[in-house]
A and B are shown apart, each in its own frame.
Chain A
Protein backbone atom coordinates (compact mmCIF):
# COMPACT_ATOMS: atom_id res chain seq x y z
CA UNK A 1 0.00 0.00 0.00
CA UNK A 2 1.53 3.32 -0.93
CA UNK A 3 1.44 6.44 1.14
CA UNK A 4 0.61 8.20 -2.09
CA UNK A 5 -0.39 11.79 -1.48
CA UNK A 6 -3.08 13.35 -3.59
CA UNK A 7 -2.18 16.65 -5.28
CA UNK A 8 -3.63 19.79 -3.66
CA UNK A 9 -7.18 20.83 -4.40
CA UNK A 10 -8.41 23.39 -6.89
CA UNK A 11 -12.07 24.17 -6.23
CA UNK A 12 -13.12 23.60 -9.88
CA UNK A 13 -11.69 20.08 -9.62
CA UNK A 14 -13.65 19.10 -6.54
CA UNK A 15 -16.52 17.71 -8.54
CA UNK A 16 -14.24 15.40 -10.58
CA UNK A 17 -12.45 14.25 -7.46
CA UNK A 18 -15.65 13.34 -5.70
CA UNK A 19 -16.79 11.58 -8.87
CA UNK A 20 -13.52 9.61 -8.88
CA UNK A 21 -14.19 8.52 -5.29
CA UNK A 22 -17.78 7.59 -6.10
CA UNK A 23 -16.49 5.66 -9.11
CA UNK A 24 -13.95 3.80 -6.97
CA UNK A 25 -16.69 2.95 -4.48
CA UNK A 26 -19.10 1.82 -7.20
CA UNK A 27 -21.68 4.43 -6.21
CA UNK A 28 -22.40 5.92 -9.65
CA UNK A 29 -25.46 5.03 -11.70
CA UNK A 30 -24.86 3.16 -14.97
CA UNK A 31 -25.23 6.39 -16.93
CA UNK A 32 -22.93 8.40 -14.67
CA UNK A 33 -20.36 5.62 -14.79
CA UNK A 34 -20.39 5.48 -18.59
CA UNK A 35 -19.86 9.25 -18.78
CA UNK A 36 -17.07 9.11 -16.21
CA UNK A 37 -15.31 6.25 -18.01
CA UNK A 38 -15.39 8.22 -21.26
CA UNK A 39 -13.72 11.08 -19.40
CA UNK A 40 -11.13 8.69 -17.91
CA UNK A 41 -10.04 7.65 -21.42
CA UNK A 42 -8.63 11.08 -22.11
CA UNK A 43 -7.70 12.35 -18.65
CA UNK A 44 -4.57 10.83 -17.11
CA UNK A 45 -4.92 13.06 -14.03
CA UNK A 46 -8.37 11.62 -13.40
CA UNK A 47 -7.04 8.06 -13.81
CA UNK A 48 -4.38 8.81 -11.21
CA UNK A 49 -7.11 10.18 -8.95
CA UNK A 50 -9.04 6.87 -9.19
CA UNK A 51 -5.87 4.83 -8.55
CA UNK A 52 -5.12 7.01 -5.50
CA UNK A 53 -8.61 6.42 -4.07
CA UNK A 54 -8.31 2.67 -4.73
CA UNK A 55 -4.96 2.65 -2.92
CA UNK A 56 -6.41 4.46 0.09
CA UNK A 57 -9.48 2.27 0.27
CA UNK A 58 -7.39 -0.89 -0.14
CA UNK A 59 -5.40 0.29 2.87
CA UNK A 60 -8.62 0.33 4.87
CA UNK A 61 -9.25 -3.25 3.76
CA UNK A 62 -5.72 -4.35 4.68
CA UNK A 63 -6.20 -2.87 8.15
CA UNK A 64 -9.83 -3.66 8.87
CA UNK A 65 -10.83 -6.84 7.03
CA UNK A 66 -9.98 -10.08 8.77
CA UNK A 67 -8.24 -12.89 6.92
CA UNK A 68 -10.41 -15.99 6.55
CA UNK A 69 -9.07 -19.22 5.04
CA UNK A 70 -11.21 -20.37 2.09
CA UNK A 71 -12.05 -24.08 1.87
CA UNK A 72 -9.48 -26.31 0.11
CA UNK A 73 -12.13 -26.92 -2.57
CA UNK A 74 -11.38 -23.50 -4.09
CA UNK A 75 -7.78 -24.30 -4.85
CA UNK A 76 -8.73 -27.77 -6.11
CA UNK A 77 -11.27 -26.27 -8.50
CA UNK A 78 -8.75 -23.68 -9.64
CA UNK A 79 -6.14 -26.35 -10.39
CA UNK A 80 -8.75 -28.25 -12.38
CA UNK A 81 -9.97 -25.19 -14.30
CA UNK A 82 -6.60 -23.63 -15.04
CA UNK A 83 -4.09 -26.44 -15.30
CA UNK A 84 -5.67 -29.76 -16.19
CA UNK A 85 -6.56 -29.02 -19.76
CA UNK A 86 -4.12 -26.48 -21.02
CA UNK A 87 -0.50 -26.09 -21.91
CA UNK A 88 0.01 -29.80 -22.52
CA UNK A 89 1.81 -30.84 -25.63
CA UNK A 90 0.20 -33.15 -28.16
CA UNK A 91 2.09 -36.13 -26.78
CA UNK A 92 1.18 -35.27 -23.20
CA UNK A 93 -2.44 -35.39 -24.32
CA UNK A 94 -2.10 -38.57 -26.23
CA UNK A 95 0.12 -40.80 -24.08
CA UNK A 96 -2.49 -41.93 -21.52
CA UNK A 97 -4.66 -43.17 -24.37
CA UNK A 98 -1.71 -44.84 -26.06
CA UNK A 99 -0.71 -46.51 -22.82
CA UNK A 100 -4.29 -47.55 -22.14
CA UNK A 101 -4.64 -49.02 -25.60
CA UNK A 102 -1.38 -50.91 -25.23
CA UNK A 103 -2.45 -52.30 -21.84
CA UNK A 104 -5.85 -53.34 -23.22
CA UNK A 105 -4.24 -55.11 -26.17
CA UNK A 106 -1.84 -56.92 -23.84
CA UNK A 107 -4.66 -58.07 -21.55
CA UNK A 108 -6.69 -59.28 -24.51
CA UNK A 109 -3.70 -61.14 -25.97
CA UNK A 110 -3.00 -62.83 -22.61
CA UNK A 111 -6.67 -63.72 -22.13
CA UNK A 112 -6.96 -65.34 -25.53
CA UNK A 113 -3.65 -67.17 -25.30
CA UNK A 114 -4.31 -68.52 -21.83
CA UNK A 115 -7.82 -69.60 -22.79
CA UNK A 116 -9.65 -67.23 -20.42
CA UNK A 117 -11.49 -65.70 -23.30
CA UNK A 118 -12.59 -67.45 -26.44
CA UNK A 119 -13.39 -64.56 -28.79
CA UNK A 120 -16.40 -66.47 -30.10
CA UNK A 121 -17.90 -66.58 -26.62
CA UNK A 122 -18.27 -62.83 -26.57
CA UNK A 123 -21.13 -63.11 -29.04
CA UNK A 124 -23.59 -64.68 -26.64
CA UNK A 125 -27.22 -64.36 -27.78
CA UNK A 126 -29.35 -64.82 -24.71
CA UNK A 127 -32.86 -66.25 -25.01
CA UNK A 128 -33.37 -66.85 -21.27
CA UNK A 129 -32.53 -64.31 -18.58
CA UNK A 130 -32.68 -64.10 -14.81
CA UNK A 131 -32.19 -61.15 -12.48
CA UNK A 132 -30.78 -62.65 -9.31
CA UNK A 133 -32.30 -60.66 -6.46
CA UNK A 134 -30.07 -60.33 -3.39
CA UNK A 135 -31.23 -62.18 -0.26
CA UNK A 136 -30.84 -60.74 3.24
CA UNK A 137 -27.27 -62.16 3.17
CA UNK A 138 -26.53 -60.63 -0.22
CA UNK A 139 -27.17 -56.95 0.28
CA UNK A 140 -25.64 -54.83 -2.48
CA UNK A 141 -25.24 -57.65 -4.99
CA UNK A 142 -26.37 -56.99 -8.56
CA UNK A 143 -26.25 -60.19 -10.61
CA UNK A 144 -27.79 -61.05 -13.95
CA UNK A 145 -27.67 -64.35 -15.86
CA UNK A 146 -28.08 -64.63 -19.63
CA UNK A 147 -28.50 -68.09 -21.18
CA UNK A 148 -27.84 -68.84 -24.84
CA UNK A 149 -29.59 -72.20 -25.21
CA UNK A 150 -28.48 -72.63 -28.79
CA UNK A 151 -24.83 -72.31 -27.79
CA UNK A 152 -25.40 -74.06 -24.46
CA UNK A 153 -23.82 -71.45 -22.19
CA UNK A 154 -24.76 -69.09 -19.41
CA UNK A 155 -23.12 -65.74 -18.83
CA UNK A 156 -23.28 -64.44 -15.25
CA UNK A 157 -22.69 -60.71 -14.89
CA UNK A 158 -21.77 -59.50 -11.42
CA UNK A 159 -22.04 -55.73 -11.72
CA UNK A 160 -21.96 -54.91 -7.99
CA UNK A 161 -20.72 -56.72 -4.89
CA UNK A 162 -17.97 -59.23 -4.10
CA UNK A 163 -17.86 -62.50 -2.15
CA UNK A 164 -16.72 -62.33 1.50
CA UNK A 165 -12.98 -62.60 2.06
CA UNK A 166 -11.55 -66.06 1.24
CA UNK A 167 -14.86 -67.20 -0.28
CA UNK A 168 -16.02 -67.64 -3.88
CA UNK A 169 -19.42 -67.41 -5.49
CA UNK A 170 -20.94 -70.66 -6.82
CA UNK A 171 -23.84 -70.82 -9.26
CA UNK A 172 -26.63 -73.35 -8.63
CA UNK A 173 -29.55 -74.57 -10.69
CA UNK A 174 -32.74 -75.62 -8.89
CA UNK A 175 -35.26 -77.15 -11.32
CA UNK A 176 -38.66 -78.07 -9.88
CA UNK A 177 -38.28 -80.15 -6.73
CA UNK A 178 -34.80 -81.40 -7.64
CA UNK A 179 -31.83 -80.74 -5.37
CA UNK A 180 -29.55 -77.87 -6.37
CA UNK A 181 -27.07 -78.75 -9.10
CA UNK A 182 -23.76 -76.87 -9.25
CA UNK A 183 -23.19 -75.09 -12.56
CA UNK A 184 -19.75 -73.78 -11.64
CA UNK A 185 -17.83 -71.02 -9.87
CA UNK A 186 -17.89 -67.36 -10.79
CA UNK A 187 -14.63 -65.75 -11.88
CA UNK A 188 -13.28 -62.79 -9.97
CA UNK A 189 -14.02 -60.71 -13.04
CA UNK A 190 -17.34 -59.05 -13.72
CA UNK A 191 -18.48 -61.63 -16.27
CA UNK A 192 -18.25 -65.44 -16.20
CA UNK A 193 -19.29 -67.75 -19.02
CA UNK A 194 -20.12 -71.34 -18.09
CA UNK A 195 -20.89 -74.13 -20.56
CA UNK A 196 -24.09 -76.08 -19.84
CA UNK A 197 -24.58 -79.82 -20.58
CA UNK A 198 -27.69 -80.85 -22.63
CA UNK A 199 -29.57 -82.36 -19.62
CA UNK A 200 -29.30 -79.02 -17.80
CA UNK A 201 -30.41 -77.05 -20.88
CA UNK A 202 -33.57 -79.16 -21.07
CA UNK A 203 -34.83 -78.09 -17.63
CA UNK A 204 -33.81 -74.40 -17.72
CA UNK A 205 -37.04 -72.53 -18.56
CA UNK A 206 -38.70 -71.53 -15.28
CA UNK A 207 -35.84 -72.99 -13.21
CA UNK A 208 -34.25 -71.06 -10.35
CA UNK A 209 -30.65 -69.87 -10.40
CA UNK A 210 -28.99 -69.18 -7.07
CA UNK A 211 -25.61 -67.93 -5.86
CA UNK A 212 -24.03 -69.14 -2.64
CA UNK A 213 -20.66 -68.34 -1.12
CA UNK A 214 -18.35 -71.34 -0.79
CA UNK A 215 -14.74 -72.04 0.14
CA UNK A 216 -12.17 -71.58 -2.65
CA UNK A 217 -12.57 -74.38 -5.15
CA UNK A 218 -16.30 -74.64 -4.55
CA UNK A 219 -18.61 -76.60 -2.28
CA UNK A 220 -16.81 -79.70 -0.98
CA UNK A 221 -20.06 -81.66 -0.68
CA UNK A 222 -21.73 -81.03 -4.06
CA UNK A 223 -24.54 -79.15 -2.29
CA UNK A 224 -24.54 -75.52 -1.19
CA UNK A 225 -22.73 -75.15 2.16
CA UNK A 226 -22.59 -71.35 2.54
CA UNK A 227 -25.31 -68.74 2.66
CA UNK A 228 -27.49 -68.19 -0.40
CA UNK A 229 -26.73 -64.63 -1.45
CA UNK A 230 -28.96 -64.12 -4.48
CA UNK A 231 -31.57 -65.98 -6.50
CA UNK A 232 -33.92 -65.54 -9.43
CA UNK A 233 -35.85 -67.64 -11.95
CA UNK A 234 -35.10 -67.81 -15.66
CA UNK A 235 -37.61 -66.52 -18.15
CA UNK A 236 -37.63 -65.85 -21.88
CA UNK A 237 -35.96 -62.63 -22.84
Chain B
Protein backbone atom coordinates (compact mmCIF):
# COMPACT_ATOMS: atom_id res chain seq x y z
CA UNK B 1 0.00 0.00 0.00
CA UNK B 2 1.38 3.45 -0.88
CA UNK B 3 1.34 6.10 1.87
CA UNK B 4 -1.49 7.83 0.02
CA UNK B 5 -3.56 4.63 -0.11
CA UNK B 6 -2.84 4.03 3.55
CA UNK B 7 -4.15 7.46 4.60
CA UNK B 8 -7.13 7.06 2.28
CA UNK B 9 -7.88 3.70 3.83
CA UNK B 10 -7.63 5.11 7.35
CA UNK B 11 -10.02 7.96 6.50
CA UNK B 12 -12.50 5.43 5.11
CA UNK B 13 -12.35 3.43 8.35
CA UNK B 14 -12.66 6.58 10.47
CA UNK B 15 -15.84 7.33 8.50
CA UNK B 16 -17.21 4.04 9.85
CA UNK B 17 -16.38 5.02 13.43
CA UNK B 18 -13.18 2.97 13.77
CA UNK B 19 -11.30 4.47 16.74
CA UNK B 20 -8.12 2.48 16.19
CA UNK B 21 -8.00 3.84 12.63
CA UNK B 22 -8.52 7.37 13.99
CA UNK B 23 -5.56 6.95 16.32
CA UNK B 24 -3.42 5.57 13.52
CA UNK B 25 -4.43 8.48 11.28
CA UNK B 26 -3.48 10.90 14.06
CA UNK B 27 -0.09 9.25 14.57
CA UNK B 28 0.51 9.23 10.85
CA UNK B 29 -0.46 12.83 10.01
CA UNK B 30 -0.54 15.03 13.13
CA UNK B 31 3.12 16.15 12.94
CA UNK B 32 2.72 17.46 9.40
CA UNK B 33 -0.63 19.11 10.19
CA UNK B 34 0.77 20.62 13.39
CA UNK B 35 3.64 22.02 11.32
CA UNK B 36 1.01 23.71 9.10
CA UNK B 37 -0.74 25.23 12.14
CA UNK B 38 2.56 26.46 13.61
CA UNK B 39 3.66 28.01 10.32
CA UNK B 40 0.46 30.07 10.17
CA UNK B 41 0.04 30.88 13.87
CA UNK B 42 3.61 30.81 15.20
CA UNK B 43 2.26 29.93 18.67
CA UNK B 44 2.18 26.38 20.05
CA UNK B 45 -0.86 26.81 22.27
CA UNK B 46 -3.01 28.31 19.51
CA UNK B 47 -1.66 25.80 17.01
CA UNK B 48 -2.54 22.86 19.27
CA UNK B 49 -6.09 24.15 19.73
CA UNK B 50 -6.53 24.36 15.97
CA UNK B 51 -5.04 20.88 15.51
CA UNK B 52 -7.49 19.52 18.06
CA UNK B 53 -10.42 21.19 16.21
CA UNK B 54 -9.18 19.74 12.93
CA UNK B 55 -9.18 16.17 14.26
CA UNK B 56 -12.63 16.61 15.80
CA UNK B 57 -13.77 17.68 12.32
CA UNK B 58 -11.99 14.71 10.73
CA UNK B 59 -13.78 12.31 13.11
CA UNK B 60 -17.16 13.91 12.44
CA UNK B 61 -16.78 14.59 8.70
CA UNK B 62 -14.67 11.70 7.42
CA UNK B 63 -17.69 10.38 5.52
CA UNK B 64 -17.78 13.54 3.37
CA UNK B 65 -14.19 13.04 2.21
CA UNK B 66 -14.95 10.73 -0.72
CA UNK B 67 -17.34 13.04 -2.48
CA UNK B 68 -15.17 16.15 -2.66
CA UNK B 69 -12.52 14.89 -5.07
CA UNK B 70 -9.43 15.59 -2.97
CA UNK B 71 -6.49 13.32 -2.45
CA UNK B 72 -6.39 12.32 1.23
CA UNK B 73 -3.46 14.47 2.42
CA UNK B 74 -4.78 17.47 0.49
CA UNK B 75 -8.12 17.10 2.23
CA UNK B 76 -6.43 17.07 5.65
CA UNK B 77 -3.99 19.86 4.79
CA UNK B 78 -6.70 22.10 3.31
CA UNK B 79 -8.95 21.74 6.36
CA UNK B 80 -5.99 22.43 8.65
CA UNK B 81 -4.56 25.34 6.71
CA UNK B 82 -7.96 27.05 6.36
CA UNK B 83 -8.80 26.54 10.04
CA UNK B 84 -5.44 27.98 11.08
CA UNK B 85 -5.86 30.96 8.75
CA UNK B 86 -9.34 31.63 10.19
CA UNK B 87 -7.80 31.61 13.68
CA UNK B 88 -4.97 33.91 12.60
CA UNK B 89 -7.44 36.40 11.11
CA UNK B 90 -9.66 36.27 14.22
CA UNK B 91 -6.61 37.02 16.36
CA UNK B 92 -5.59 39.87 14.03
CA UNK B 93 -1.94 38.82 14.22
CA UNK B 94 0.36 41.41 12.64
CA UNK B 95 2.23 40.08 9.55
CA UNK B 96 5.98 39.45 9.65
CA UNK B 97 7.70 42.28 7.72
CA UNK B 98 9.13 41.64 4.22
CA UNK B 99 12.20 43.52 2.99
CA UNK B 100 11.18 45.93 0.22
CA UNK B 101 14.52 45.48 -1.54
CA UNK B 102 13.58 41.86 -2.20
CA UNK B 103 10.37 42.88 -3.90
CA UNK B 104 11.51 44.80 -6.93
CA UNK B 105 9.25 43.69 -9.79
CA UNK B 106 12.24 43.04 -12.03
CA UNK B 107 14.06 40.80 -9.54
CA UNK B 108 15.35 37.70 -11.30
CA UNK B 109 14.21 34.15 -10.71
CA UNK B 110 15.91 32.56 -7.71
CA UNK B 111 19.37 31.06 -8.33
CA UNK B 112 18.00 27.62 -7.46
CA UNK B 113 15.34 27.89 -10.18
CA UNK B 114 17.21 26.50 -13.16
CA UNK B 115 18.67 23.60 -11.18
CA UNK B 116 15.30 22.66 -9.72
CA UNK B 117 13.49 23.07 -13.02
CA UNK B 118 15.94 20.75 -14.67
CA UNK B 119 15.42 18.01 -12.11
CA UNK B 120 12.35 15.94 -11.37
CA UNK B 121 10.88 18.71 -9.23
CA UNK B 122 7.19 18.90 -8.52
CA UNK B 123 5.33 20.81 -11.16
CA UNK B 124 4.14 23.50 -8.76
CA UNK B 125 7.65 24.01 -7.35
CA UNK B 126 9.10 24.27 -10.83
CA UNK B 127 6.43 26.79 -11.78
CA UNK B 128 6.97 28.86 -8.62
CA UNK B 129 10.64 28.92 -9.51
CA UNK B 130 9.83 30.39 -12.91
CA UNK B 131 8.38 33.45 -11.18
CA UNK B 132 10.59 36.31 -10.09
CA UNK B 133 11.74 35.27 -6.62
CA UNK B 134 9.92 38.12 -4.86
CA UNK B 135 6.61 37.20 -6.50
CA UNK B 136 7.02 33.55 -5.58
CA UNK B 137 7.73 34.68 -2.04
CA UNK B 138 4.42 36.57 -1.91
CA UNK B 139 2.52 33.49 -3.14
CA UNK B 140 4.22 31.32 -0.48
CA UNK B 141 3.45 33.89 2.22
CA UNK B 142 -0.21 33.87 1.20
CA UNK B 143 -0.41 30.09 1.21
CA UNK B 144 1.99 28.89 3.88
CA UNK B 145 1.51 31.71 6.37
CA UNK B 146 -2.03 32.76 5.45
CA UNK B 147 -1.22 36.42 4.73
CA UNK B 148 -4.12 38.41 3.27
CA UNK B 149 -3.62 41.20 0.73
CA UNK B 150 -3.85 43.66 3.62
CA UNK B 151 -1.20 41.69 5.57
CA UNK B 152 1.12 41.65 2.56
CA UNK B 153 0.58 45.39 2.00
CA UNK B 154 1.44 46.03 5.67
CA UNK B 155 4.40 43.65 5.61
CA UNK B 156 5.95 45.31 2.55
CA UNK B 157 4.75 48.89 2.92
CA UNK B 158 3.41 48.63 -0.63
CA UNK B 159 -0.03 49.83 -1.68
CA UNK B 160 -2.70 47.11 -1.39
CA UNK B 161 -3.89 47.46 -5.00
CA UNK B 162 -0.33 47.09 -6.27
CA UNK B 163 0.12 43.96 -4.15
CA UNK B 164 -3.10 42.53 -5.43
CA UNK B 165 -2.14 43.21 -9.05
CA UNK B 166 1.26 41.54 -8.54
CA UNK B 167 -0.22 38.51 -6.88
CA UNK B 168 -2.98 38.03 -9.45
CA UNK B 169 -0.43 38.27 -12.27
CA UNK B 170 1.73 35.72 -10.47
CA UNK B 171 -1.22 33.37 -10.08
CA UNK B 172 -2.07 33.73 -13.75
CA UNK B 173 1.53 32.94 -14.72
CA UNK B 174 1.48 29.95 -12.37
CA UNK B 175 -1.75 28.72 -13.89
CA UNK B 176 -0.29 29.04 -17.36
CA UNK B 177 2.84 27.14 -16.33
CA UNK B 178 0.81 24.40 -14.59
CA UNK B 179 -1.31 23.68 -17.65
CA UNK B 180 1.67 23.24 -19.97
A residues engaging B (CB < 8 A)?
1-3, 5-9, 14, 17-18, 21-22, 25-27, 47-48, 51-52, 54-71, 73-75, 77-78, 81-83, 87
Quick one: given A6-B178, A26-B85, are A70 and B124 in contact (CB under 8 Å)?
no
B149, A27: Cβ atoms closer than 8 Å: yes
CB-CB < 8 A to B148: which residues of A?
26-27
> Can you spell out 20 A-B residue pairs with CB atoms less than 8 angstroms apart?
A1-B4, A1-B73, A1-B74, A5-B179, A6-B175, A14-B175, A27-B167, A47-B69, A51-B68, A51-B70, A57-B81, A60-B128, A61-B144, A63-B122, A64-B140, A65-B144, A67-B31, A69-B31, A71-B48, A78-B56
B38, A22: Cβ atoms closer than 8 Å: no
A60, B140: Cβ atoms closer than 8 Å: yes
CB-CB < 8 A to A66: which residues of B?
35
A2, B123: Cβ atoms closer than 8 Å: no
Bitwise, B33-53 to A at CB < 8 A (1) or not (0) is 011101100001001100110
CB-CB < 8 A to B168: which residues of A?
18, 22
Chain A proximity of B110: nearest CB distance (Å): 13
How far is A22 from B19 in the complex, measured between Cα atoms in Å? 36
Q: Is the interface of A mostly helix, strand, loop or mixed?
A: helix
A70, B85: Cβ atoms closer than 8 Å: no
Question: B174 contacts the other chain (Cβ, under 8 Å)?
Answer: yes
Bitwise, B155-180 to A at CB < 8 A (1) or not (0) is 00000000000011001101110110
Q: Is the interface of B mostly helix, strand, loop or mixed?
A: helix
CB-CB < 8 A to B149: which residues of A?
27
Q: Nearest chain-A residue to B19 (Cβ)? A: A83
Interface size on B, residues (CB 8 A): 54
CB-CB < 8 A to A73: which residues of B?
48
Q: Nearest chain-A residue to B152 (Cβ)? A: A27
A22, B171: Cβ atoms closer than 8 Å: yes
How far is A58 from B122 in the complex, measured between Cα atoms in Å? 12
B122, A59: Cβ atoms closer than 8 Å: yes
Quick one: given A57-B124, A68-B31, A74-B30, are A26 and B144 in contact (CB under 8 Å)?
no
A2, B35: Cβ atoms closer than 8 Å: no
CB-CB < 8 A to A9: which residues of B?
175-176, 179
CB-CB < 8 A to B73: which residues of A?
1, 58, 62
Question: B78 contacts the other chain (Cβ, under 8 Å)?
Answer: yes
How far is A83 from B20 in the complex, measured between Cα atoms in Å? 11
Question: B17 contacts the other chain (Cβ, under 8 Å)?
Answer: yes
Residue of A5, A22, A25, A73 contacting most chain B CB atoms (<10 Å): A25
